Amino acid sequence: MPVELAFELAAHLESCPEIAAAFGEGLRRAANPEQAAGEAEIFSGAEALEAVAADWRAIEREGALLTPFQSFAVAAAALPAHLEHGQVPHIIVVREHGETRAILPLVATTMAGSRVLRFLGDPLIQYGDAILPGAGNEAHLMQALLAAGKLGADAALFRKVRTDAKIAGVLSRRAHVSNVEEAPYVDLRRESGLPPRDMRELRRYRRRLGEQGEVKLHITRGPEALPCVNRALELKRDWLAIKGFSSSVIGDPHWERVLTSLVTGHAELLACARLETGGRLAAIEVAITHGKRWHAFLGAINPEFAKYGPGQVQMADTIEYAREHGFLAYDLLAPADPFKRVIATGAVAVCDYALPLSLQGQVAARAFRFAPQAKSLLGKLPAPLRRAAKSILRLH
């Protein structure tokens, strides 16, 4: 992964005085902590999730989750993947007056020799957050972060935190922003259209696809959607290999198994949108749904139809399907790209935060800030050079 390269570079480029100065700033922050409330209890290991299941599910029934990526179902599906990778779950529960006020689900990982805490579910989850009931507040989250600091990690790296996330406020004051992206979305309550030029191009794509046969969108859930999800993963793996890109999820059998287990065990969470032309697959979207929000999680196209723009047609038709079936928003997720920005009606900022917890954690935090630039540099290389660089640097 680019972050591993960043760790190595940061370890060589950072000077000791600079690190010490930065660590001193971290100590000054810690000496003036924000108000914390409640008492924290830490559950660790393979049984940690089951130990907090009742409290987590109670908060979920309350309707307090902002995204599906904080659901207990996603956490339970992700747990085996973490364990297979040797990552240790640590779930922090903050209680006050006997009532649960916050749950912070983390896993301990190792990155280039540093002990790092990350959200449970990362890298699969597209939004990271803590789990708070209506009675929870930032003081309870502060207590959870203080408890996380006692786990012996060098740093905590909180990725993909929306600006409206429960944990965003306290992280924005206590941690360093290492990366900022946009997650575009379509407000389905508004009748929005593409700019004239893009609308003409979409009609042209649709016409050219129609010349190959009838264009039709199929939406499936549950076991019926499993072949669709498997095909999407296969197409995405092939595309990544051809382009010389890598993914922490696609191509990793443990993380891919998380998706297949969710589609078969939680039909309400995963849907598969399959665009066909003349009965043949043209494009696929795997979506994660939550309440009235449709999240476009994974897209893939059949290369046989690539020149006909099947992905754009599939997305346009899926948006209309979501609108007709009562969804209020179609979330394109981060990062934004030109096509996403064209069809979106708005966007929310998504930040990565680095929280140093030790002197070595200062190096980790700086490396994490450099990781997006490393990824961008690799992405600009021709595919053969990207593959060679990954092989030499052992980036996964």
Q: Is the model more confident about 328 or about 365?
A: 328
Tens digits of residue pLDDT in 71-101: 999 999 999 999 999 999 999 999 999 999 9
Tell me, what's the pLDDT at 192?
78
Q: Would you tell me how many other CB atoms lie within 10 Å of the CB of residue 283?
A: 29
Amino acid at 189: R
Cα 9 from chain centroid (whole Å): 25
pTM of the model: 0.89
The encoded tokens of residue 376 equal 């961008």
Given a contact cutoff of 8 angstroms between Cβ atoms, the answer to whether 225 and 291 are in contact is: no
Given a contact cutoff of 8 angstroms between Cβ atoms, the answer to whether 130 and 122 are in contact is: no
Q: At what angle do helices 359-380 and 383-393 cross, to 10 degrees?
A: 150
Burial class (CB in 10 A: 0-12, 13-18, 19+), 98: exposed
pLDDT at 220 over 50: yes
pLDDT at 21 over 50: no
Tell me what the pLDDT averaged over the chain comes to: 90
Domain ranges of the chain: 2-180+351-393, 190-327
d(CA 298, CA 165): 22
Closest-CA residue to 41 (of 53, 54, 52, 56): 52
Q: What angle do CA 218, 222, 223 make, to 5 degrees?
A: 95
pLDDT category at 381 given cuts 50, 70, 90 is low
Distances (CA, A) of 166 to 140, 241, 357: 11, 37, 21
Given a contact cutoff of 8 angstroms between Cβ atoms, the answer to whether 357 and 154 are in contact is: yes
Least confident segment among 35-39, 66-70, 181-185, 391-395: 391-395
Tell me, what's the pLDDT at 112?
77
CATH architecture of 190-327: 3-Layer(aba) Sandwich (3.40)
Provide mean pLDDT across the span 334-356: 96
The encoded tokens of residue 320 equal 């209309």
Cα 24 from chain centroid (whole Å): 32
The encoded tokens of residue 382 equal 């021709």
Distances (CA, A) of 106 to 129, 261, 390, 395: 10, 21, 28, 23
d(CA 235, CA 219): 18
The encoded tokens of residue 311 equal 């992905």
Given a contact cutoff of 8 angstroms between Cβ atoms, the answer to whether 300 and 236 are in contact is: yes
d(CA 14, CA 330): 43
pLDDT category at 388 given cuts 50, 70, 90 is low
Tens digits of residue pLDDT in 360-376: 998 888 877 776 665 65
pLDDT at 47 over 60: yes
pLDDT at 24 over 50: no
Least confident segment among 22-26, 169-173, 243-247, 260-264: 22-26
Provide mean pLDDT across the span 161-188: 97
CATH 3.40.630.30 fits 2-180+351-393, yes or no: yes
Closest-CA residue to 144 (of 70, 42, 58, 248): 42
Question: Which residues pair with residue 279 across a beta bridge?
Answer: none
d(CA 3, CA 396): 10
Could you give phi then psi for residue 2, rounded to 5 degrees?
-55, -35
How many helices, marked H, and strands, marked E, lie in the chain? 14, 12
Given a contact cutoff of 8 angstroms between Cβ atoms, the answer to whether 315 and 343 are in contact is: yes
pLDDT category at 387 given cuts 50, 70, 90 is low
2-180+351-393 and 190-327 in the same fold: yes
d(CA 379, CA 382): 8
